[in-house]
Amino acid sequence: MKLHSRKIMRVACRLAGLGLVVASLLFFTVFLLLGYTPLGNRAGDRLQQRQTEIESLEPADFIVVLGGNVVRAVDAARLFHHGLAPHVVLSGGREDHWSALLLCGIPEENLLRDPEPARTADHPRTIADLAEVAPESRLILVTNGLHHRRARRLFEKAGYFRIQMFEYEAPDRPDRIGLGPRGAVDALYEMAAALKDRTL
């Protein structure tokens, strides 16, 4: 009986090891395809759905910063000073985001704080808890490009349909084949998160 159990354990360990090898090979194959081939550019275009030119945006009720990198707060301030919305909502951002918005010249009375969200899927629900924001509000969501498709889908699922996406992109950013190593990791993360949030 013990011998039989050992054989089963050996087979199970070998299968687990083989599964790990296959999963690793699959991950690195997809990573290389996204990072260094035109397939990465196509995946990036599908995920992004963004506006990068301020002039292409329509006026809104709120500019919503979806946490993340503090650069998003600077982008939001840029939109505010172009007169695109009278209020900026900081959703899930840290104290340095709030400070950046103030340093960029946004008066405190034009700022709303939503400290509740712990993950992307929380943002639509937590900003709805702010008295000033309603599902019919016109929103400009500020987040990084590869995050746009999932963020838009989550807000639409929550009943927001007047949405524009924005990420500032410097005009001299060079075109490249593939997303590069950082972009490939971000794209893989977004794809996995989209599957989890059912936003694909």
CATH of residue 150:
3.40.50.620
pLDDT in tens, 63-118: 999 987 888 899 999 999 999 999 999 998 788 899 999 999 999 999 999 988 88
User: Does residue 140 lie in a domain region?
Assistant: yes
Does 149 reside within a domain?
yes
Catalogue the E-assigned strands of the chain: 62-66, 87-91, 111-114, 139-142, 163-166
Which of 30, 50, 67 lies closest to 191, judged by CA? 30
How far apart CA 111 and CA 129 sit, in angstroms, is 15
Assigned domain for 74 exists:
yes
Whether 87 and 130 have beta carbons less than 8 Å apart is answered as no
In the chain, helix, strand, coil percent, each to 5? 55, 10, 30
Secondary element (H or E) of residue 31: helix 2-36
Burial category of 122 from C-beta neighbours within 10 Å (exposed 0-12, middle 13-18, buried 19 and up): middle
CA distance 145 to 122: 19
Query: Cα–Cα–Cα angle for 151, 155, 160, nearest 5°?
Result: 145
Residue 125: domain span: 54-166
User: pTM (2 decimals)?
Assistant: 0.76
Residue 88 domain-assigned? yes
Report the alpha-carbon distance of residue 137 to residue 60 in Å, rounded.
8
Q: What pLDDT digit, counting tens, does each position of 136-156 carry?
A: 999 999 988 777 888 888 999
Which range is least confidently modeled, 9-13, 78-82, 141-145, 184-188?
9-13
How many domains is the chain partitioned into structurally? 1
